């Protein structure tokens, strides 16, 4: 079956999830003036919100028997549990334990999502499967990519 796979074929599979969350960019070690200069209106006491998109890419060799790298239903369920449920309609500064002692920038969010998913995927039976990239789109014009480096 799947004769095209007579040699190993590495593929990259991406799934996108969306979540809405608020955050405040503020470093308590900085003065109010320095926070305002560094983060501008994003340092507002009450925070502000975004409609985030998280694009998660996994990579590895296609399984010859199934024709899959990973069943997309399984990837969807994993991202729902580990990303959407954790971050959707939350204030990142206060409601997400992994971000409690951070300035929850999009960069920090991307690294945090990576760490969460890397741990979850380590339990996957396909040891050929690896997390390749986490891309967080904060707006249509601003995004952060993290490759685990």
Query: What domains sit in the chain, N to C, each tagged with a CATH number?
Result: 3-19+54-146 (3.30.479.10)
Q: Is 50 annotated as a binding residue?
A: yes
Asked if the model's pLDDT at residue 63 lies above 90, the reply is: no
Lowest mean pLDDT among 2-11, 49-58, 127-136: 2-11
Q: For residue 2, what pLDDT is reported?
A: 66
pTM for the structure as a whole:
0.93
Return all residues near 73 (Cβ < 8 A) that are at least 6 apart.
Answer: none
For residue 27, the SS3 value is coil
d(CA 149, CA 136): 16
Q: Any idea which residues carry the catalytic annotation?
A: 42, 89, 138
> How many other β-carbons are positioned within 10 Å of the β-carbon of residue 76?
13
pLDDT in tens, 65-105: 888 899 999 999 999 999 999 999 999 999 999 999 999 99
What is the DSSP secondary structure assignment for residue 55, as one 8-state letter? Answer: E
Q: Is 48 annotated as a binding residue?
A: yes
């Amino acid at each position: 079956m799947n004769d095209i796979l007579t040699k190993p074929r590495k593929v990259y599979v991406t799934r996108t999830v969306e979540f809405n969350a608020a955050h405040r960019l503020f470093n308590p070690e900085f003065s109010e003036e320095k926070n305002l200069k560094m983060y501008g209106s994003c340092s507002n006491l009450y925070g502000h919100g975004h409609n985030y998109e998280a694009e998660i890419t996994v990579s590895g060799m296609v399984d010859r028997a199934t024709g899959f790298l990973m069943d997309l239903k399984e990837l969807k369920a994993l991202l729902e549990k580990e990303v959407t449920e954790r971050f959707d309609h939350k204030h990142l500064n206060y409601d997400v334990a992994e971000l409690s002692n951070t300035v929850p920038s999009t960069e920090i969010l991307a690294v945090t999502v990576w760490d969460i998913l890397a741990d979850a995927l380590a339990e996957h039976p396909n040891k050929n499967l690896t997390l390749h990239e986490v891309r967080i789109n904060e707006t249509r014009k601003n995004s952060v990519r993290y490759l685990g480096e």
